[in-house]
Structure 1
Amino acid sequence: MHTPSRNVSGLLSDSVARFPERTAIVFGEDRITYAELDSAVNRVANLLVARGVQPGDKVALSCPNLPQFTVIYFGILKAGAAVVPLNVLLKAREVAYHLGDSDTKAYFAFEGTPELPMGKEAREGFEDTEGCTEFFLIGDGSSLPGIGPHQLYGPAVAAQSGSFATVERDDEDTAVILYTSGTTGRPKGAELRHRNVYDNVRADVDLFEADAERPDTYLCVLPLFHAFGQVVIQNGAIAFGGTLVLQPRFEARATLQLMLDHDVTFFGGVPTMYWGLLGALGDGVDVARLASNLRVAVSGGSALPGEIHQQFKDRFGVTILEGYGLSETSPVASFARFGEEPRVGSIGVPIPGVEMKLVNRDGSDLKGDPDAIGEIAIKGHNVMKGYYKRPDATAEAVRDGWFRSGDLARRDEDGFYYIVDRSKDMIIRGGFNVYPRELEEVLMGHPAVSLAAVIGIPHDSHGEEIKAVVVKHAGDTTTEAELVAWGREQFAAYKYPRIVEFVDQMPMTSTGKILKRELAPSAGTAQQEVTR
């Protein structure tokens, strides 16, 4: 039976038909209208068809936040293929793994810079992948001897027509494969159907009062290869005739300047980005003008500390809306309610068409005490088709339509959810469960603490000991021993951090999450209380 199509590329086609002369993308001095974007997208689709890409084939893309990402993304979809966005930091071996695992047929990659030679790694990975037959380099090829003219993106698309009839796809067909490490093992590809992505974007009407007649200007600094930046920011802007301002890499002062230069009304970031913006509000920044323009600020990716929530509201007059989701849920599953006073620390309620519940380890519903902690399970239009070519992993993650997230939470009497922690991040000290997020929230309230991360480290008798890694405010003279003593007054005896280490900066992923696995103790730099 035929299923009506919600091809994700239709988000662009609808806006092109209604607003051809509106500015779709801003990058540096470049302004690209919707009509110009559509023509560029059509050239990519024609190129793929000319090189033998068929409906349902997989096409990979390694590109930072540049206009080419959006052009190629929608070109792949228009051609009826599925997009496989790859992290731009992957090395050749990792590229080859992703290309082979996803059965990718064609691959677009940005050439990069001497400091980040993406093209070199991409080409080596491509050459080690037997089934991937087409390679397109976004750049002039000067850093890669031997690249043929037919492999250069610019000349290849320039030779194509700017007209193309979208290849029809069904709701159930795969639109995007997002690779996620999950909790264990090698990265797995979460297959998202066209309807998964399409419906997740259209939910913006309810979530943020998105309206194409009153379009927003979105600043996109979140990496487009990641679900948050790709679906919430890029696709959200395109779906509602908005303007997408692209920033390849987050730099707080530059971000603030872009917000001023382009009257940005919609900003999305992870907590560390909001922390960075607050720290960059020095002399010369017109905070009043920033605040008068900004309509929506959203956060996801990891828990937003209450202290940052409050500081941002005080300075910008805007409440950060905290949401929750995963690659496997396309990505948004829940969000704070727009226009309502936030419940700080809450990830809100399920979005329209989505259900959430808390379950025990055996999958049974957690009922009774509203403060009881369980694993979040999600059901609805946003849940992935499955992990590509991994039926066993899919069956383990999705049971009776419910996706098991691996995240621990509680739910209040009004149905608002509060993340406690990732189940894998939970520390077990002497048989007691300790949730790092709780400790991080309290530590952020200390006047010396600018940023904090709490981890568990091996301990002979207790199994794990609790360590806090802290970035201090500049010029603060608090010692590690003083912070340990302060923590002892704030927390129960089994859970206060007995080890504190001050660092100048935190290791972070390309999406701005703190890399806790790299926060190992350094000999001689941490203050440790005698464990008892």
Structure 2
Amino acid sequence: SLRNIQYGGGPMPSRVIAEALDAFPCTLIQGYGQTEGTTMTFLSQEDHIRAIRDGYRTERLRSCGREGYVTSVRIVDKDGNLVPKDGKTPGEIIVRSPANMLGYFQRPDLTAETIREGWMWTGDIATWDEESYCFIVDRAKDMIISGGENIYSVQVEEAIAKHDAVLEVAVIGVPDDEWGESVKAFVVLKPDRTASEAEIIQIAKENLASYQKPRSVEFVDALPKAPTGKILKRELREKHS
């Protein structure tokens, strides 16, 4: 009787999607949204099946899909201009929808900052491809600036997650006297598996530019999470503030 599994909070590794499609007689749909604006984009069940079963545009499994039926989605620069649909130029996701909030309670200043000319600025940094599939690269507040370079924590996490022993990973920027911030990874290993700091740094280096790799790795038993299961990076940052 199970027909569909819907998930959110971030893309799932393609390995997990393939295992889910094999294990359950149903389809998968990913939704991206915020409390302020409900679900804004969808990665459809057809997108999942075509990527896993047919090998078509498998990179789109890392995306959060395209705009939904009642939403208009754009990715823009700081001045509100559309960024190219080239899959590599980052900008901020903005959304116009009747489902968007009217504003923050008793916070007209924050409302004015977030809703501009009918568009809600989400604070999520993303790229998009030629068919408007959106690839979130980070929350604006989670972006790491090290030695003047912008480093997106999600990209580092995706690289580290390629290690077979890694169950979960969260990446943050920590204060660094020389670089301003340096990249630190918190890693949860799978049961009965081992990995060294050098291995984690190496797999990141193999999949990223050298400046993006973590300079330190801390192995932990669990990552702090909200009741929804979302990793609370602010709690990790508080340890280093």
What range is the shorter-chain TM-score in?
0.7 to 0.9
CA distance in 2, matches of 1:479, 1:521: 25
Between structure 1 and structure 2, the one with the greater Rg is 1
Name the SS for the 2:41 alignment partner: strand
Letter in 2 for 1:300: G
Q: How does 1:404-419 map to 2 (within 5 A)?
A: 404-419=121-136
Give the 3 Å change call, closer, same or farther, for CA 305–423 of structure 1 in structure 2: farther
Q: Specify which structure has the bigger relative contact order, considering alpha-carbon pairs within 8 angstroms and separated by 6 or more residues.
A: 2
Structure with the higher fraction of residues in strand conformation: 2
Name the SS for the 2:194 alignment partner: coil
Name the SS for the 2:211 alignment partner: coil
Name the SS for the 1:381 alignment partner: coil
Name the SS for the 2:131 alignment partner: coil
Matched, 1:364 2:81: yes
Q: Aligned residue for 2:31?
A: 323
Q: Aligned residue for 1:308?
A: 16
Give the 3 Å change call, closer, same or farther, for CA 365–316 of structure 1 in structure 2: same
Give the 3 Å change call, closer, same or farther, for CA 425–387 of structure 1 in structure 2: same
Q: TM-score, normalised by structure 2?
A: 0.87
CA distance in 1, matches of 2:84, 2:73: 13
Identity score, percent:
41
Q: Is this contact kept in 1: 2:104–2:111, CA < 8 A? A: yes
Q: Deviations over 1:174-211 (max 9, x none)?
A: xxxxxxxxxxxxxxxxxxxxxxxxxxxxxxxxxxxxxx
Q: Is this contact kept in 2: 1:306–1:441, CA < 8 A? A: no
Letter in 1 for 2:45: F
Q: Deviations over 1:135-157 (max 9, x none)?
A: xxxxxxxxxxxxxxxxxxxxxxx
Q: Deviation at 1:366?
A: 2.2
Q: Is this contact kept in 2: 1:398–1:404, CA < 8 A? A: yes
CA distance in 1, matches of 2:44, 2:217: 37
Match of 2:40 among 333, 338, 342: 333
Q: Aligned residue for 1:444?
A: 161
Q: Aligned residue for 2:56?
A: none
Q: Is this contact kept in 2: 1:355–1:379, CA < 8 A? A: yes
In structure 2, the gaps of 5 or more residues are 52-59
Larger mean Cα displacement after TM superposition, 312-321 or 406-415: 312-321
CA distance in 2, matches of 1:522, 1:324: 29
Q: Is this contact kept in 2: 1:307–1:445, CA < 8 A? A: no
Matched, 1:296 2:13: no
Q: Aligned residue for 2:149?
A: 432
Q: Deviations over 1:261-290 (max 9, x none)?
A: xxxxxxxxxxxxxxxxxxxxxxxxxxxxxx
Q: Deviation at 1:332?
A: 0.9
Matched, 1:491 2:212: no
Letter in 2 for 1:352: Y
Q: Deviations over 1:274-307 (max 9, x none)?
A: xxxxxxxxxxxxxxxxxxx321111113343334
Q: Deviations over 1:427-453 (max 9, x none)?
A: 111111111111211211211111111
Structure with the higher fraction of residues in helix conformation: 1
Give the 3 Å change call, closer, same or farther, for CA 381–497 of structure 1 in structure 2: same
CA distance in 1, matches of 2:162, 2:25: 20
CA distance in 1, matches of 2:115, 2:239: 40
Q: Deviation at 1:520?
A: 5.2
Q: Aligned residue for 2:222?
A: 505
Q: How does 1:185-334 map to 2 (within 5 A)?
A: 293-329=1-37, 331-334=38-41
Q: Deviation at 1:500?
A: 0.9
Name the SS for the 2:193 alignment partner: coil
CA distance in 2, matches of 1:463, 1:308: 36
Q: Deviation at 1:509?
A: 1.0
Q: Aligned residue for 2:57?
A: none
CA distance in 1, matches of 2:135, 2:96: 18
Q: Deviation at 1:369?
A: 3.7
Name the SS for the 1:406 alignment partner: strand
Larger mean Cα displacement after TM superposition, 514-523 or 310-319: 514-523
Letter in 2 for 1:296: N
Give the 3 Å change call, closer, same or farther, for CA 478–353 of structure 1 in structure 2: closer
Q: Aligned residue for 1:92?
A: none
Q: Is this contact kept in 2: 1:299–1:321, CA < 8 A? A: yes
CA distance in 1, matches of 2:4, 2:204: 35
Match of 1:348 among 65, 72, 75: 65
CA distance in 1, matches of 2:11, 2:46: 21
CA distance in 2, matches of 1:482, 1:388: 47
Q: Is this contact kept in 1: 2:64–2:135, CA < 8 A? A: yes
Give the 3 Å change call, closer, same or farther, for CA 492–336 of structure 1 in structure 2: same
